[in-house]
Amino acid sequence: MKLLEQAIMERGRVIGSDILLVDTFLNHQVDVFLMQEIGKEFAAHFKKNQIDRVATIESSGIAPAAFAALFLEAPLVIMKKQASRILTGDLLAATVRSFTKGTQYELTVKRDFLPKGERVLFVDDFLASGEAAIGAKKLIDSAGAVLAGVGIVIEKSFQSGPERLREEGIELYSLARIASMQEGQILFH
Ligand code: G4P
């Protein structure tokens, strides 16, 4: 998606060889006009997959996922990373390890918000090692729903995520695919 690649080039910043800072438009300050275009693009691509519901993980996935849900005319469900005393009832859980941040969290969602048989599109901001998407798939599977596709805003193709998702037979659509990066230079596929 040209508009997104342009935003990455003009407003992103590479740290080291594997972290892209996009807090100017994606995950801290948010360019809602760009998010709107991102939502339209996901909706146009995944229309054929008969999506009933969009799912994401708090917090950075919410903006692009909300716009995808809007244009797919589907509800949005936000999987939680933070334990909460008021989040009770029939909860599904899966452990997710973050290789980028070196942390681990329990991904949870209310079973009621992933109805059995529904076709779910999972949307997230980054695909790195694929842990978040695999964790989301575990929750969707255990709810008896169907993961009907994964939509990613920025894929770091040089990390293991894309390959892992393919091995799981998951349909992946990434709007920007970074082949390699270093300070001052980003190469897209
Ligand atoms: P994975 O899910 O693909 O395995 O990714 P990984 O564990 O490596 O990354 C975990 C967190 O780091 C995720 O955010 C992800 O969005 C973020 N991340 C991964 N690569 C980059 C990058 O190049 N740039 C930036 N800015 N973030 C990256 P999170 O911990 O779930 O936090 P949140 O921001 O969604 O709250």
Distance from C-alpha of 179 to C-alpha of 159, rounded to nearest angstrom: 9
**Top mutation candidate among 8, 98, 163, 166 for ligand 1, by most atoms within 8 Å of CB:** 98
Are 140 and 55 within 8 A, CB to CB?
yes
- Dist. CA 140 → ligand 1 center (Å): 20
pLDDT at 99: 79
Tell me how many degrees the CA angle 99-109-42 measures, rounded to the nearest 5.
70
Strands (E), the chain: 13-15, 19-21, 53-57, 76-79, 91-98, 103-110, 119-127, 146-156, 172-182, 185-188
99 phi/psi in degrees, rounded to 5: -75, -35
Number of domains the chain is built from: 1
For ligand 1, what atom is nearest to the CA of residue 130? 3
Residue 101's pLDDT is 80
Cβ–ligand 1 distance for 104 under 6 Å, the answer: no
- Angle at Cα 179 formed by Cα 173 and Cα 184, nearest 5°? 125
In this structure, what CATH number is given to the domain that contains residue 137? 3.40.50.2020
Please state, in angstroms and rounded to a whole number, the distance separating the CA atoms of residues 112 and 3: 37
Ligand 1 near 79 CB (within 6 A): no
Length of the chain: 189
Distance from C-alpha of 56 to C-alpha of 113, rounded to nearest angstrom: 12
Q: Is the CB of 25 under 6 A from ligand 1?
A: no
CB of 56 shorter than 6 A to ligand 1: no
Cα distances from 1 to residues 6, 55, 91, in angstroms, run 9, 22, 36
The CA distances from residue 150 to 32, 58, 174, 186, in Å, are: 21, 16, 8, 23
Tokens of 60: 């950075």
Which residue's alpha carbon is at the smallest distance from atom 20 of ligand 1?
128
130 lines ligand 1 (CB under 6 A): yes
pLDDT at position 100, please? 78
Residue 35's pLDDT is 98
Kindly report, residue by residue over 67-119, the tens digit of the pLDDT.
999 999 999 999 999 776 676 778 999 999 987 788 999 999 999 999 999 99
Domain hosting 179: range is 2-188
Question: What pLDDT does residue 98 have?
Answer: 85
Going by C-beta distance under 8 Å and a sequence separation of 6 or more, which residues neighbour residue 163?
none
User: Which tokens sit at 185?
Assistant: 């230079």
129 lines ligand 1 (CB under 6 A): yes
Residue pLDDT tens, the chain, 189 long: 999 999 999 999 999 889 999 999 999 999 999 999 999 999 999 999 999 999 999 999 999 999 999 999 999 999 999 776 676 778 999 999 987 788 999 999 999 999 999 999 999 999 999 999 999 999 999 999 999 999 999 999 999 999 999 999 999 999 999 999 998 899 999
User: Which position has the token pair 């070196």?
Assistant: 102
